[in-house]
Structure 1
Amino acid sequence: MTVIESKVTLKRPVAEVYTFLADCNNHEQLMPENVSGWSSTRDEARFTIQNMASLALKVESRMENREVVFVPSERAPFDVTLRWQVQPDGEYQTQARLTIEAELNMMMKMVAAKPLQKLADFQVEKLRAVLG
């Protein structure tokens, strides 16, 4: 199992950050430019990563003001879980962490680990830009 993490501190209450992350419709704002064909509902998102693959992710679980877990809703190139965790850091500040857990063989790890880390870092920075 390959585990990739990135985290950020936001000047927003935990409930506000959780509410944003719990809705798949908001995640389009966190995607890099090489993502296209976005369609989503509150519980599922479909998109294409340029020159790579089409993905469909769904919310597997939500724990209010704590965690939102996304898993593939269709066959994916490898098993992957995206886990957003939030926790209060004072009254008006929140720590948000994105963890990507991927089942990668050695060959896939060599190819995919760096882009997955880049994606995680990009998404937390976009979250900071959107929510501050």
Structure 2
Amino acid sequence: MELESQKVTVQKSQEELFQFLTNVENYEKIMPDSKEKFEVKSQDTFAFALKGMPEIELQIKETREPEFIVLGSTSDKFNFSLDVVVEPAGENQSHAQLFFHGKFNAMMAMMVKGPLKKFISALADNTANLS
């Protein structure tokens, strides 16, 4: 299953946004309002839970400074990655877009598509609101 967020403009330079998004503690600041739990597990791993969803643990799997970050699930049961693309958009601005790649059976895909689309849209919107 492939999903993507809208491309948003952020009031941070490409380098600033990349640094922000490679610090796992900062993901708590862009989580949706439905966040019930957020916990930093290590320097590159965090866990979170949203209302009505199981806990998910994400790890920074790959980075390509200053434009690309891959967050991957640490669970075999919920196998997916979330790519973040950061593009320059001026001196103190950048564009960010999220791409979700998941391997789910058809039934699971049907159940999670709506909530996942909302989740990545909320992450993008909250990233756009960073100052």
Corresponding residue for residue 82 of structure 1: 82
Whole-Å Cα distance in 2 between the matches of residues 88 and 103 of structure 1?
A: 31
Whole-Å Cα distance in 2 between the matches of residues 76 and 48 of structure 1?
A: 17
SS in 1 for 2:92: coil
Matched, 1:4 2:3: yes
Whole-Å Cα distance in 2 between the matches of residues 76 and 26 of structure 1?
A: 25
TM-score using structure 1 length: 0.89
AA aligned opposite 2:43: R
Q: Larger deviation: 112-121 or 41-50?
A: 41-50
Runs of 4+ in 1 over 6 A off after TM superposition: none
Corresponding residue for residue 122 of structure 2: 122
Counting matched residue pairs gives 129
AA aligned opposite 2:64: M
Whole-Å Cα distance in 1 between the matches of residues 121 and 51 of structure 2?
A: 18
Report if the CA contact (8 A) 1:55-1:76 is conserved.
no
The answer for unaligned runs of 5 or more in structure 1 is none
Residue deviations 1:1-38, cap 9 Å, x none? x1111121123210011011111100011112322231
Q: Larger deviation: 93-102 or 35-44?
A: 35-44
SS in 1 for 2:124: helix
The answer for unaligned runs of 5 or more in structure 2 is none
Corresponding residue for residue 28 of structure 1: 28
Whole-Å Cα distance in 1 between the matches of residues 76 and 21 of structure 2?
A: 22
Q: How much has 1:76 moved relative to structure 2?
A: 5.0
Whole-Å Cα distance in 2 between the matches of residues 3 and 55 of structure 1?
A: 18
AA aligned opposite 2:34: N
Whole-Å Cα distance in 1 between the matches of residues 64 and 44 of structure 2?
A: 14
Corresponding residue for residue 43 of structure 1: 44
Residue deviations 1:104-130, cap 9 Å, x none? 222112111111111111111101112
Matched, 1:110 2:110: yes
CA-atom RMSD in angstroms:
1.5
Question: Percent identical across equivalent pairs?
Answer: 26
Q: Larger deviation: 20-29 or 108-117?
A: 108-117
